[in-house]
């Protein structure tokens, strides 16, 4: 039985230790991948964002690259017309239908509007990048503009914030979720107690 306890302790330690490496946390969940919008040289995508206050680290989204376009996908984060951050992703690193992160130096956001602009000057219309979007409501995302035309939708994305020191927040939910399923949690505990009892009973019998 000592062996089992050591085994489980190693598991718990592994879980706790690996959590220390989590320094970026998602806020909210990526929406449905309902449809996609193409991006090429003449068609720029503008996505207003209303992020919660904090240190924004990256923005994730799902992008299609059905023609294996090797051109660049450029992104800009703007606030009141001023460029806060910008970056470039090579089409080589955009798999068709892959989840792609726009990484940038962390930027302090205060709850006001910022705009994410996605463009690809060296891409022609027949071979666009296509960003997945959804019409599900989400307070973080404003209405998407594609080629200057406003859509009743937004990109299906997720924002990531700096997250060190949030271990309590990370593990708090697990106990709650476990106990919330009362029938199962009682059965599970009873099963464990029963097995422990059975183990010692077998030990006494020998």
Partner 1 sequence: MGNFFGLSGMNVAQIFVAAFLLRVVLMPFLFHPDIKTYSYQSSNLSRGVLNIYEYIPQHRAELSLKEEFVYFPLTYFAWGGYLVLLSPILGQGFNVWLSDASGGYINSVGTFKYIFLLKLPLLAVDLILGLLLVKMVDLSKRKLVAALWLFNPFTLIIIYGFSNVDIFPVVFSVLALMCVLRNKFILSALLLGIGAGFKAYPIILLPFVFFATQDWLKRILILVVGLGSVIAVSGYFLRSKYFVESTLASGLTTRVFSTGIDLGNGQIVSLPVLLIAIFLGFLVMSGRFRVKNIGEYFLVSLLLVLSSINYHIQWLLWVAPFAVLLMVKNTKYVWLVSLIFLVAFVIPLLYPDRALNFGLLSPISEWYLSLNTFNLFVAKFVNPNMLIGALHSILLGMVVVLALIFAREKGGET
Residues in touch with partner 1 (CB under 8 A): 1-4, 7-8, 11, 15, 18-19, 21-22, 24-26, 29-30, 32, 160, 163, 170-171, 173-174, 177-178, 180-181, 184-185, 188, 191-192, 195-196, 198-199, 202-203, 206
- Residue 163: CB minimum distance to partner 1, A: 8
Nearer to partner 1, 43 or 154 (CB): 154
Of 23, 43, 33, 195, nearest in space to 127 by CA: 43
Could you tell me the sign of the dihedral formed by the alpha carbons of 162, 164, 167, 169, in that order? Answer: negative
Token duo for residue 75: 């992104």
Query: Strands (DSSP E) along 28-93, which ranges?
Result: 35-39, 45-49, 54-64, 72-79, 82-90
In this complex, which beta carbon is closest to partner 1, that of residue 165 or of residue 203? 203
Q: Which is nearer to partner 1, 26 or 147 (CB)?
A: 26
Contacts of 30 by beta carbon, 8 Å cutoff, 6+ apart = 60, 61, 62, 156, 157, 158
By C-beta, is 42 or 181 nearer to partner 1?
Answer: 181
**To the nearest whole angstrom, how small is the minimum distance from the Cβ of residue 66 to partner 1?**
16
Give least dist CB 156 to partner 1, A: 10
Question: Rounded CA gap, 131 and 125, in Å?
Answer: 14
Nearer to partner 1 by C-beta: 22 or 83? 22
Tokens standing for 182?
């009362």
Q: How far is the CB of 122 from partner 1 (least distance, A)?
A: 26
Question: Closest approach of Cβ 144 to partner 1, in Å?
Answer: 20
Count of CB atoms situated within 10 Å of the CB of 175:
10
């Amino acid at each position: 039985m000592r062996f089992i306890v050591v085994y489980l302790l190693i598991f718990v330690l592994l879980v706790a230790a690996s959590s220390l490496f989590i320094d970026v946390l998602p806020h909210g969940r990526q929406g449905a991948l309902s449809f996609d919008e193409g991006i090429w040289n003449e068609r720029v995508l503008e996505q207003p964002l209303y992020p919660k206050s904090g240190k924004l680290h990256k923005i994730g989204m799902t992008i299609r690259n059905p023609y294996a376009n090797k051109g660049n996908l450029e992104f800009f984060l703007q606030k009141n017309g001023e460029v806060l951050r910008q970056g470039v992703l090579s089409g080589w690193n955009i798999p068709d239908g892959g989840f792609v992160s726009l990484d940038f130096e962390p930027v302090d956001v205060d709850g006001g509007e910022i705009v994410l602009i996605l463009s690809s000057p060296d891409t022609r219309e027949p071979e666009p990048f296509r960003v997945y979007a959804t019409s599900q409501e989400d307070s973080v995302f404003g209405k998407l503009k594609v080629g200057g035309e406003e859509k009743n939708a937004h990109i299906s994305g997720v924002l990531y914030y700096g997250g060190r020191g949030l271990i309590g927040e990370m593990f708090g939910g697990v106990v709650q979720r476990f106990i919330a399923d009362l029938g199962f949690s009682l059965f599970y505990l009873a099963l464990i107690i029963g097995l422990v009892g059975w183990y010692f009973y077998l030990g006494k019998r020998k």
